[in-house]
Structure 1
Amino acid sequence: MGRGDLNSRIMLIAEAPGRMEDEKGIPFVGRSGEILDELLKSVSLSRDEIYITNINKCHPPGNRDPEEAEQQACMPFLKYETALIRPKIMVCLGRIAARKVIATGFRISREHGTWIERKGFFLTAVYHPSALLRDPSKVEETRRDFQEIKRKLEELSQ
C-alpha cells in the first residue's frame, strides 16, 4: 500500500518502489523524494495532503522496469487503493505509470500535463522525479505541470 492522507483528493502513482523505498517501506526517499517534495512545496502542497502509491508494490530485481505480468499482478491493489482513497485527481509519475493508468501508448514527452477525465477521475502525468535528476532541463516544465495540478485541485474544490 501507499502512504499519505486517506482522504486526499490527489493520488500520485509511480511505477515501483526503488531499493531504498522497498527497505524503508516509504515512497520517494532519497534524492528523487527531495525533488518530489520541492515540486509539492512549489505549489503549497505537502505529503501530508496527498496519497502516494506505486503500481508495483515490490522493487523489481536489478532496478529494471516492472514486467507486464508483475504490473498485472499488482493492479488489484491499486484498484483497491483508488476505491479506498477516492481521489479526484490521479497524477502518474513517469512513463510506466502513465502507460498503465492512462493509455498504453502514452508519450510522456508529448503528453505530460494534459488532462483526461475518466470515470469521475481527472488523470494527468508528469515526469518522474528521477527523470529530473537525469535531465534537469525538464524541471521547469514539470513545475508548470504541478502548477496546473494545483489549479485543477482548486477548480474541483469550488
Structure 2
Amino acid sequence: MEKAVTDRIVVGVDGSETSISALRYAARMANALDAPLHVVTTWTAPPIDPYLAIDWTPEKYAGETLDAAIEEAFGKTPPDGLTRAVLPGAAARTLIGLSDTCAMLVLGSRGHGGFVGLLLGSVSAACAEHAHCPVLIVHTRKTNEDADQEATS
C-alpha cells in the first residue's frame, strides 16, 4: 500500500506561546510555498473516577484551545484554506503519524508542561527524531526581560 503524499504543512499547537509562534511561522511558510496549512491539536483522556460527575471533556477543551490559538495568531481572519483538526492520542505519536502525509511538520520548541529551561520539549524532540518529513522547530525570541529573569533565578 502506497502512502498518500501531500504538499500540506502541518503545525501542532497546544496554546503555548511557542506553539502560537510556530503557527504564525507555518502560515508564512504555507503562503510562500503556496501550500495548504493544517493546524492540529491532540487530546488524551485522563483517568477519571466514574463516580465523579463533571461537565468537561478533554476533546472539547482541546478544540477550545485550538480555536483560541488560531484566533490569537491571526485575529478574526485566519489564512485562506486553513484547516484544523482535534485528534485523539498522544501528541508526539499523532504528529509523527501525520508526518507520513505532509510536506513539513512545524512545532514550537516547547509547549505546556515539562521543564521550562529545556531547549526542546519532549514532543518536539520526538518529532524531530522520528518524523517522516522535514520538521521545523520554532523558538520564541527572548526579550531582555526574559534574560534578566533567568539570570536572577
TM-score range (shorter-chain normalised) is 0.3 to 0.5
TM-score by structure 2 length?
A: 0.34
The structure, 1 or 2, with the larger RCO (C-alpha pairs under 8 Å, 6+ apart) is 2
**Structure with max Cα Rg:** 2
